[in-house]
Amino acid sequence: MADAVSHADAGELLLDIRNLKIEATVYPPGEDPRQVTIVDGVSLKLHKGKVLGLIGESGAGKSTIGLSSMGYGRGGVKITGGEVILNGRDILKGGMSGLRKLRGREVCYVAQSAAAAFNPSHRLMDQVVEAALRHGTATRKEAERRAVELFRKLSLPNPETIGRRYPHQVSGGQLQRVMTAMALCSEPDLIVFDEPTTALDVTTQIDVLAAIKDAIRDTGVAALYITHDLAVVAQVADEIMVLRHGKLVEWGKTRQIIKEPRQEYTNALVSVHEIEHQEKPPRDTPILSVKNVTAAYGGSDVKVLKDVSVDIYAGQTLAVVGESGSGKSTLARAITGLLPPENGTIEFAGRKLSARLDDRKRDDLRELQMIYQMADVAMNPRQTVGTIIGRPLEFYFNMRGRERDARVAELLDKIEMGKGFVDRYPAELSGGQKQRVCIARALAAKPKLIICDEVTSALDPLVANGILNLLLELQSEEDVAYLFITHDLATVKSIADSIAVMYQGTVVRYGPKSKVLEPPFDDYTDLLLRSVPEMEIGWLEKAIEGRRMESAGN
Amino acid sequence: MSPIVKLVAQRIALGVLLLFAVSVLIFAGTQILPGDVAQSILGQSATPEALANLRQELGLNDPAIVRYFNWLGGVLTGDLGTALTTRQEITATLGPRLWNTLFLAFWAAIVSVPLAILLGLLAVRYRNGPIDKAISGFALASTSFPEFFIGYLLVFFFAVKLQWLPPISTVYDGMPFLDKLRAIVLPATALVLVVLAHMMRMTRAAILNVMQSAYIETAELKGLSALDIIRRHAFPNAIAPIVNVVMLNLAFLVVGVVVVEVIFVYPGMGQYLVDHVAKRDVPVVQAVGLVFAAVYISLNIIADIAAILANPRLRHPK
């Protein structure tokens, strides 16, 4: 397969990974530690100034391969076989001091979460120039001048002064661009981009992506671009390598991979998995009715929700979409009573809900459940699946012993996780399985409404699809309503009956799905729709051209 | 007002309030103690008239609340009262002794704090290796020995056998500075050995905790050396917990030196307190208790403030 790509015209070879094998020691609970193979016999070639996209689901080994180009293994990960030839030498033979010399100089790294990857106690400029100073490639003055130039190239606001700020003083999208500047500052030959836009809003992602693309073109640096999003990588990569379970699936030119995939798995990744969801018409009375709700944090003058009114009908889904900071999750907090609104009322199942959580009756709590984005932190790691799902049964219905166990088994069946999972701990489950357990826990309370807060955002596309299908199935069985919070418009199309678009605390567009997604659009909805990456070469430039307003993260 | 000024002002106000609460407790506590002060001064054979006169003179017949505010008023104007047994002004006696205790604590701190942090950094650098284990082992062993045992060991080897240093730490007014230093080498060493392990272990734990952060990986991928990563990237983010444990140990150096002072017959607060507790000299016990509380509370406020200042989010708000 690798031979399918012709390298004859590609120019000088920069990185040549041969037969890479990477292993890690894992410590499963209650078992002896054992070796697992993370990457098995992968080879790749990258020429100067080219961009290779590494794509696959979580666990495919893409980050691990990317980091191997710097001789780095995260956690207990060790490179146990193969060669990593960079600029003509095998870096695995150079020892620790050899690796230190190339890290931050020949190869630089851009992490997924810039917010976590910047040291909170140092100013941005100090961190941006640090590698260049450490390797003596520039004096402080030269490095700072270059950094300011890069800030400007990456269209950061106030390029002259932004370096004096601390990481917490700039937005996530800006921080991601500063991180790119940090990687470019020591003029490396290769940059490893590890999901650099995954944690950003779609509207911000588009700007960061464009900035990264321009910077790569202008500096002539080569790049390994790691992501699980084919549509994103199609915008920047010359070639794409598809990985699965640590093995190579397919490697080819970007156009070939997205237009004529040769492997079945690549085809599955490429094809659009839109779920056909027939919109249901509103019923007579809503199950939940939010009326003119206004809310602020801690009596502040800044209102995070402004006069918000939405209705949700039994057995239907209202999707709430918007960028981070638009008030989507705050609306959920107001409905659950975590943030009592200053004004407005919330009616639920025909009764008025108390504003404060503490004043609510047990049935109010039971009938209104939540599922979260991070399934693993929403579960007690020391409880088994059975205990986690059984807890609401004990708490709300006083079920004990065999009765409870039977109901737990029934719920596990519903989420398509057979009996074998009852005694497992969350750490032994995959991301999708964890989210399923959270769904079962919510269902155990027999709720009328479930608030789903970005429940598929942290999952791989294929897994997320499974979760959406499950949610839809459960909705038709149990007649439960969903308030579905998301920033992903593709998800909205698959699941919603009605949609509320939020912007800076207000609902700017609201109605049945077909109406909301039908032109003419307001500027903000237009921006959201245009920002959803499409698997088209050249989509990025077209999308930026067509925008009528700037994204908030800029 | 910037949030940081507000936070600092809050901490200081809270500290003052706490100190007042402690003064009430100290006063109440000494009132509950059984026995009659007049009786204990004059002895069993005193006549009822003499006792009554003395009570009148000492103001013991006033209600407790009046006596508390008289005492507090004195404290605030720098008058800690008169010692019952010696009839001396407490402020005048206590002043030089407090100074001696602070002198000893200061030198113990100057040695132990940087040493503990340095050893902590080294333990992280060579974590789980022989150097880490040797440092931890030595520090834990020195803490596990009671301080009087360490004190006598030091006296035995350095004063009795080798005769390098005096076994008794006599200091007096007008004593040359270097002689003073020489006199406190042994008690200061004993104190260092007592507090070292706690600070070192906490430094190690706090830094190791920070070493899990993603920005440590960033630093590693810039090609920085292990020690640079710990020093420049991990340590600044571990300052808050480290300062806390350092302050706790500094407080111990001032208020917990009783045993060491007694061993080396050092004229500090500890000696003074022990002497007067034995004699049931309530005003002295109150005064020393209050000074100890003040030291303890101020050091903790300093730790709190340092933790606030170490947080860039508070220092540089958006």
Tell me which chain A residue has its CA closest to the CA of residue B309: A121
**Closest residue on chain A to B228 (Cα):** A134
User: What single-letter DSSP state applies at residue A521?
Assistant: P
> From the CB of residue A190, how many other CB atoms can be counted at a distance below 10 Å?
25
Say yes or no: B3 contacts chain A, CB-CB below 8 A. no
Per CB-CB distance under 8 Å, the chain B contacts of A124 are: none
- Residues 478-517 (A) with a CB less than 8 A from some CB of B: none
Inspect the interface and report whether the beta carbons of B223 and A101 lie closer than 8 Å: yes
Per-residue model confidence as pLDDT tens digits over B278-318 = 877 888 888 888 998 998 899 999 988 888 888 888 888 77
- Residue A99 touches chain B, beta carbons under 8 Å: yes
| E strand spans, A100-204 | 107-110, 190-194
* A134 in contact with chain B, both atoms CB, cutoff 8 A: yes
When mean pLDDT is compared across A138-152, A232-246, B301-315, the lowest value belongs to B301-315
Q: How many CB pairs under 8 A join A and B?
A: 74
Among the ranges given (A137-151, A163-177, A353-367, B273-287), the one the predictor scored with the smallest mean pLDDT: B273-287
What's the longest Cα–Cα distance across chain A?
73
To the nearest whole Å, the CA of A124 is away from the closest chain B CA by 12
Measured between CB atoms, which of B214, B312, B316 is closest to A117?
Answer: B214
Farthest CA pair distance, chain B: 86
Tell me if B221 sits within 8 A of B233, measured CB to CB.
no
A75 Cα to chain B: minimum distance (Å): 10
Q: Compare CB distances from B221 to A103, A118, A135 and report the shortest one's residue.
A: A103
Q: Which of B201, B188, B196 is nearest to B145 (CA)?
A: B196
Question: Quick check: B218 and A119 CB within 8 A?
Answer: yes
Q: Nearest CA to A191 among A154, A239, A223? A: A223
Q: Which of A369, A365, A348 is nearest to A291 (CA)?
A: A348
Residue A220 confidence (pLDDT) above 60: yes
Residues of chain A contacting residue B236, judged by C-beta atoms under 8 Å apart: 119, 121-122
Q: Least CB-CB distance to B222: which of A122, A134, A168? A: A134
pLDDT at A409: 92
Testing the interface with B: which of A67, A99, A105, A121 to mutate, by most B Cβ within 10 A? A121
Distance CA A305, CA A335 (A): 12
Whether A119 sits inside 8 A of B236 (CB atoms) is: yes
Nearest to B215 among A118, A131, A134 (CB): A118
The single-letter code of the amino acid at A133 is L
The pLDDT tens digits of the residues spanning A503-514 come to 989 999 999 998
Q: At what angle do helices A431-444 and A385-397 cross, to 10 degrees?
A: 10
Per the CB < 8 Å rule, is A118 touching B233?
Answer: no
**CA contacts within 13 A on the Cβ side of A424:** 15
Q: Which residues of B touch A131 (CB under 8 A)?
A: 222-223
Q: How far is B316 from chain A (nearest CA, A)?
A: 8
Alpha-carbon separation of residue B310 from A491, B3, B121, B229 (angstroms): 43, 14, 18, 18
Strands (E), A313-458: 317-321, 343-348, 351-352, 368-371, 449-453
- CB contact at 8 A, B260 and B151: yes
Task: Count CB-CB contacts under 10 A for residue B297.
Answer: 18
CB A305 within 8 A of CB A505: yes
What pLDDT, on a 0 to 100 scale, did the predictor assign at position A3? 44
Residues of A in contact with B233 (CB under 8 A): 119, 122
Report the gap between the CA of B213 and the closest CA in chain A (Å).
7
Q: Mark which residues 232-291 of B lie under 8 Å from A by CB.
A: 232-233, 236-237
| pLDDT score at A305 | 92
Per-residue pLDDT, A8: 44
pLDDT mean for each 10 residues of chain B (318 residues): 82 92 88 71 78 79 83 84 79 87 91 93 90 90 85 86 81 81 88 90 92 92 92 91 90 84 86 82 86 90 88 82
| Residue B129: partners with Cβ closer than 8 Å, 6 or more residues away | none
Of the listed ranges A22-36, A492-506, A530-544, B5-19, the one predicted with least confidence: A22-36
Q: Which of B223, B233, B312 sits opposite A105 (nearest CB)?
A: B223
Do A236 and A216 touch, CB atoms closer than 8 A?
Answer: yes
Question: Between B213, B214, B223, which is nearest A131 by CB?
Answer: B223
Cis peptide before B236 (omega within 30 of 0): no
Lowest-confidence region among A130-134, A142-146, B91-95, B254-258: B254-258
- Quote the CA–CA distance of A191 and A14 in Å, as a whole number: 12
Q: Do A72 and B220 touch (CB under 8 A)?
A: yes
The answer to whether A104 contacts B223, with C-beta atoms less than 8 Å apart, is yes
Q: Quick check: A100 and B237 CB within 8 A?
A: no
CB A163 within 8 A of CB A125: yes
Distance from the B234 Cα atom to the nearest Cα atom in chain A, whole angstroms: 9
> Which residues, numbered 198 to 217 in chain B, qualify as contacts with chain A under a Cβ-Cβ cut-off of 8 Å?
213-215, 217
DSSP structural state of residue A50: -
What single letter denotes the amino acid at residue B291? V
Q: What is the pLDDT of residue A273?
A: 65
Cα–chain center distance at B301: 13
CB burial of A402-416 (b: ≥16 within 10 Å; e: otherwise) equals eebeebbbebbebbe
CA distance A461 to A274: 11
For residues A329 and A349, is the Cβ–Cβ distance under 8 A? no
Mean pLDDT of A422-440: 89
Give dist(CA A212, CA A53) in Å, integer: 14
Chain B environment of A108 (Cβ under 8 Å): 221-222
CA–CA separation, B200 vs B137, rounded Å? 11
The number of C-alpha atoms within 13 Å of A39 and in the hemisphere containing its C-beta is 28
What's the CA angle centered on A431, arms A417 and A495, to 5 degrees?
80
Whether A50 contacts A239, CB under 8 Å: yes
> How far is A352 from A152, CA to CA, in rounded Å?
53
Mark A82-99 as b/e (b = at least 16 C-beta within 10 Å): bbbbbbeeebbeeeeeeb
Confirm or reject contact between A70 and chain B (CB < 8 A): yes
Which residue from A minimizes the CA distance to B222? A104
Sheet of A107-110: strand order equals A107-110, A190-194, A222-227, A51-55, A239-244, A247-253
B228 to chain A, minimum CA–CA distance in Å?
10
Predicted-complex ipTM score: 0.80
Please report, as a single letter, which amino acid is at residue A293. Answer: V
A130 interfaces chain B, CB cutoff of 8 Å: yes
Residue A16 CA to residue A86 CA, distance in Å, equals 6
Instruction: Please say if the pLDDT value at position A355 is more than 50.
Output: yes
Please state, in angstroms and rounded to a whole number, the distance separating the CA atoms of residues B274 and B187: 17
Cross-chain CB nearest to B233 (options A109, A119, A131): A119
Ramachandran region, residue A87 (left: φ > 0; alpha: ψ -120 to 50; beta: rest) = left
Around A543, how many Cα atoms within 13 Å sit in the side-chain half-sphere?
28
Of chain A, the percentage scoring pLDDT greater than 70 comes to 96
The answer to whether residues A445 and A370 touch, using CB atoms and an 8 Å cutoff, is: no
User: What's residue A10's pLDDT?
Assistant: 56
Q: Are A531 and A322 in contact (CB under 8 A)?
A: no
Residue B101 is which amino acid?
T
3-state helix, strand, coil in chain B (%, to 5): 75, 0, 20
CA distance to partner chain A, nearest, from residue B249 (Å): 26
Token pair listed for B305: 């403030």
Average pLDDT over residues A16-35: 84
Residue with tokens 């990477």: A22
Instruction: State the Cα–Cα distance between residues B192 and B184, nearest whole angstrom.
Output: 12
Q: Is A158 on the interface with B (CB under 8 A)?
A: no
Phi, psi of A481 (to 5 degrees): -95, 150
Q: Residue B47: is it exposed, middle or buried by C-beta count within 10 angstroms (0-12/13-18/19+)?
A: exposed
Using a CB–CB cutoff of 8 Å, tell me whether B227 touches chain A: no
- Residues A25, B32: Cα–Cα separation, whole Å: 64
DSSP per-residue codes, A75-126: TTEEEEEEEEEETTEEGGGSHHHHHHHHBTTTEEEE-S-HHHHS-TTS-HHH
A127 neighbourhood in chain B, CB within 8 Å: 218
Chain A touched by B220 (CB under 8 Å): yes
B48 CB contacts (<8 Å, ≥6 apart)? none
Asked if A127 contacts A182 with a C-beta cutoff of 8 angstroms, the reply is yes
Decide if A109 touches B, using CB distance below 8 A: yes
Please give the average per-residue pLDDT across A62-91, as a whole number.
90
Task: Tell me the C-alpha to C-alpha distance, in Å, between residue A330 and each of A293, A294, A303, A429, B315.
Answer: 11, 10, 11, 30, 28
Residue of A nearest to B316 (CA): A166
A chain contacts of residue B213, beta-carbon cutoff 8 Å: 116
d(CA B26, CA B294): 12
- How near does any CA of chain A get to the CA of B257, in Å? 36
Would you tell me how many other CB atoms lie within 10 Å of the CB of residue A271?
10
Q: Which of A70, A127, A168 sits opposite B313 (nearest CB)?
A: A168
* Distance spanning both ends of chain B, measured CA to CA: 15
**8 Å CB contact of A104 and B237:** no
In terms of Cα–Cα distance, which of A68, A421, A229, A124 is closest to B221? A68
- Rg over alpha carbons for chain A, rounded to the nearest Å, is 25
**Mean pLDDT score of chain A, rounded to an integer?**
88
Looking at the DSSP assignment, which residues form a beta bridge with residue A451?
A370, A483
Residue A364 has φ and ψ, to the nearest 5°, of -60, -45
Q: Which among A103, A117, A166 has CB closest to B215?
A: A117
Q: Which of B215, B223, B237 sits opposite A103 (nearest CB)?
A: B223
Q: What digits encode the pLDDT tens for the residues A33-76?
A: 888 888 999 999 999 989 999 998 888 889 999 999 999 988 77
Minimal CA–CA distance to A77: which of A65, A94, A86, A60? A65
A113 touches chain B (CB under 8 A): yes
Question: CB contact, 8 Å: A73 with chain B?
Answer: no
Query: CB distance A117–B236 less than 8 Å?
Result: no
